Structure 1
């Protein structure tokens, strides 16, 4: 059984929910505290032992490639000014030569199409797929444990979390079969089921390990919801050929694909840092007091 060495990051989306901020800046480069969103996802992949990072980009996404490249002028300036700590951080985040590859998705035809665009770079190997909008706190990554499950079961792995049963219509939902090692057999998948029809409350959280046979399926896949090539449709066909297992991630995933989730992630990541926790708690308490006072109705003068 081949091990998981490569990861695909679909970063071609337009980020329209963040306009006008994303008119010139890719949504993946918006910062959570002091790092762009995409950096957290790449760090999670690196923690899981990924050796080759494959980015499926689109127009106006060149800054992502620049971010993962060496900036000689910046490094030289930091070295001259004795900023060794900052220089070390940049060097640690820098992929080694040949570890990062970039390919284009010329048309916005859906997640399934974006994955298919990476076929030649992935080749005949299992690969991880990480949606860049979804991030986890550093040190609490999901993919590492998924790789451990894959090493015991093979096949394909989907990470899931629990949601309120009343909200299953918002997500891709999996059915839960018998327990296997640290996961369970997936008995079925459905995209945004109608209220009351979901097979469980386990929703797909944007982390996958897939077999390369998915590429042939996606190549023939008809367009589905939204007139796009849907990954879930392809996975359902692949499930007819091999086992799918679910990994129940018990950490917390933050959805940076919406302004509300992005702000929540910034607050959570700042509070998780020892150097910011105290000051952020004070700031939040002060803002709550000020906003609460401003919202109180003014007494009517008699």
Structure 2
């Protein structure tokens, strides 16, 4: 029987250089999609999937993330005095339960695999979820919740998969699949950023994982790989030799908020879900598209 997934790891130590100068003094994970920080969307997804303990692997200048998941007494008192109880209750709802958030430091930027390894003592000897905070998933039901279903059926390790054009597979970690079940695949192998034309499929790893604790043993022995960093995919390739991996093919929308275009598209997509601002957003987009078409026509 599959052991329950109680803990989730969020690697939030990255420097966010693609968003400079905005991230010079603010962590990229605290940039907002509409009116909520990027990291809040990912934590919400984990909570909706039943996660109880949230582990953040931070770096220098990331203290504001810890502050975000803490009580701000002065703010709460002000909101209460002004009668803004709905906002106060919403803020309190976002907070993890006391003692259910942990923060540890990745002291050197040695890659995603190293960041995950930094969480070893907090995770302990139990399976856990790993969510990359750059990747925001939009669907009726959360990606991690769907992965939990696959995990209960298949046990072992589970990864989220997305389909991309074959000519783009060299940018990602790509999987080789075997048997196919309803909405999920047996994973036979993985390769990180394959040579163009050599990818085993058009299914890529997309930032959500359920991993057994043995992954830490492989990460501890993993030599630096691509970019001279300790790569999580390299360790999963080794673990796949000893344990089964399943892949959930995610059918929703994924926004890479580590890129400027993905971040902007996420703001538009989630803005359109808000009844209070969607009409204005839609009207503005139409006007901008008309202006763009006129400008491109003139350039011709």
Question: TM-score normalized by structure 1?
Answer: 0.96
Could you tell me how far 1:260 is from its partner in structure 2?
A: 0.9
- Return the alpha-carbon distance in structure 2 between the equivalents of residues 132 and 188 of structure 1: 25
Alignment of 1:1-302 (within 5 A): 1-137=2-138, 139-180=140-181, 182-297=183-298
Q: Is the 8 A contact 1:65 1:102 kept in 2?
A: yes
Residue deviations 1:194-242 (CA, integer Å, cap 9, x gap): 1111111001110000000011111111111111101011001111111
Could you tell me how far 1:279 is from its partner in structure 2?
A: 1.5
Could you tell me how far 1:298 is from its partner in structure 2?
A: 8.1
- Return the alpha-carbon distance in structure 2 between the equivalents of residues 181 and 241 of structure 1: 24
- Return the alpha-carbon distance in structure 2 between the equivalents of residues 250 and 43 of structure 1: 19
Q: Which runs of 4+ in 1 moved over 6 A?
A: none
RMSD across aligned positions (CA) = 1.4
Could you tell me how far 1:182 is from its partner in structure 2?
A: 4.3
Could you tell me how far 1:139 is from its partner in structure 2?
A: 4.2
- Return the alpha-carbon distance in structure 1 between the equivalents of residues 297 and 163 of structure 2: 37
Q: Is the 8 A contact 1:15 1:27 kept in 2?
A: yes
Q: Is the 8 A contact 1:44 1:138 kept in 2?
A: no
- Return the alpha-carbon distance in structure 1 between the equivalents of residues 195 and 275 of structure 2: 43
Q: Which structure 1 residue ranges, 5 or more long, are not aligned?
A: none
Residue deviations 1:150-174 (CA, integer Å, cap 9, x gap): 0111100010011111111111111
- Return the alpha-carbon distance in structure 2 between the equivalents of residues 138 and 121 of structure 1: 30
Which secondary structure state, in structure 2, belongs to the residue aligned with residue 22 of structure 1? coil
Could you tell me how far 1:187 is from its partner in structure 2?
A: 1.2
Residue deviations 1:44-96 (CA, integer Å, cap 9, x gap): 00000000000000000000000000001001000000001111110110111
- Return the alpha-carbon distance in structure 2 between the equivalents of residues 165 and 269 of structure 1: 28
C-alpha change, 1:292 and 1:182, in structure 2 (3 Å) is closer
Q: Which structure 2 residue ranges, 5 or more long, are not aligned?
A: none
- Return the alpha-carbon distance in structure 2 between the equivalents of residues 51 and 43 of structure 1: 11
C-alpha change, 1:182 and 1:101, in structure 2 (3 Å) is same
- Return the alpha-carbon distance in structure 2 between the equivalents of residues 46 and 126 of structure 1: 16
Which secondary structure state, in structure 1, belongs to the residue aligned with residue 40 of structure 2? helix
Residue deviations 1:263-285 (CA, integer Å, cap 9, x gap): 11111111122222222110111
Q: Is the 8 A contact 1:40 1:138 kept in 2?
A: no
